[in-house]
């Protein structure tokens, strides 16, 4: 059975967790940086993605830390999450290679 395609938001969230655990707002900031400001996750959207990734066992909680009287929950990638992210990155890289090759063929490379 073919795996479900990963959404762009899920891809960015998993990438944000690739180098270590992060809490909710930390993920929002990292996703904004990774996408060069193109993806600005609202909290409702972020937790929709986190809930789905947790249900698919691609992420799990790492620890809770107190900060200004509030508990911040940190999330980390699971082994399955790491594998899924690597596969998705490979797929996207392969697609990008095809796109570049076709653009070269038609002589429509991006300027700069």
Q: Residue 56: which residues within 8 A CB-CB, separation 6 or more? A: 80
Q: What are phi and psi of 24, to 5 degrees?
A: -50, -55
The piece of 5-13, 48-56, 83-91, 95-103 that touches other proteins (CB under 8 A) is 48-56
The one among 10, 16, 17, 28 contacting other proteins by CB under 8 A: 28
Q: How far is the CB of 84 from other proteins (least distance, A)?
A: 14
Q: Which residue has the tokens 């060069």?
A: 36
Which CB sits closer to other proteins, 73 or 97? 73
Per rule CB under 8 A, is residue 31 in the interface with other proteins? no
Dihedral sign computed on CA atoms, order 14, 16, 18, 21: negative
Cα–Cα–Cα angle for 66, 72, 73, nearest 5°? Answer: 125
Which CB sits closer to other proteins, 43 or 98? 43
Q: For residues 49-108, which are near other proteins according to CB under 8 A?
A: 50-52, 54-57, 59-61, 64, 67-68, 70-73
Dihedral sign computed on CA atoms, order 2, 90, 5, 73: positive
Q: How many residues bind other proteins (CB under 8 A)?
A: 29
HSE toward the beta carbon, residue 87, CA cutoff 13 A:
11
Positions that interact with other proteins (CB under 8 A): 1, 23-25, 28, 42-48, 50-52, 54-57, 59-61, 64, 67-68, 70-73
């Amino acid at each position: 059975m073919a795996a479900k395609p990963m959404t762009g938001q899920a891809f960015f969230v998993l990438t944000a967790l690739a180098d270590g655990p992060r809490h909710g707002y930390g993920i929002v900031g990292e996703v904004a940086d990774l996408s060069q400001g193109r993806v600005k996750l609202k909290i409702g959207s972020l937790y929709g993605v986190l809930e789905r990734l947790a249900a698919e066992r691609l992420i799990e909680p790492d620890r809770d830390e107190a900060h200004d009287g509030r508990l911040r929950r940190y999330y980390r990638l699971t082994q399955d999450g790491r594998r899924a992210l690597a596969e998705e990155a490979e797929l996207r890289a392969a697609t990008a290679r095809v796109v570049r090759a076709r653009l070269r063929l038609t002589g429509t490379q991006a300027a700069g």
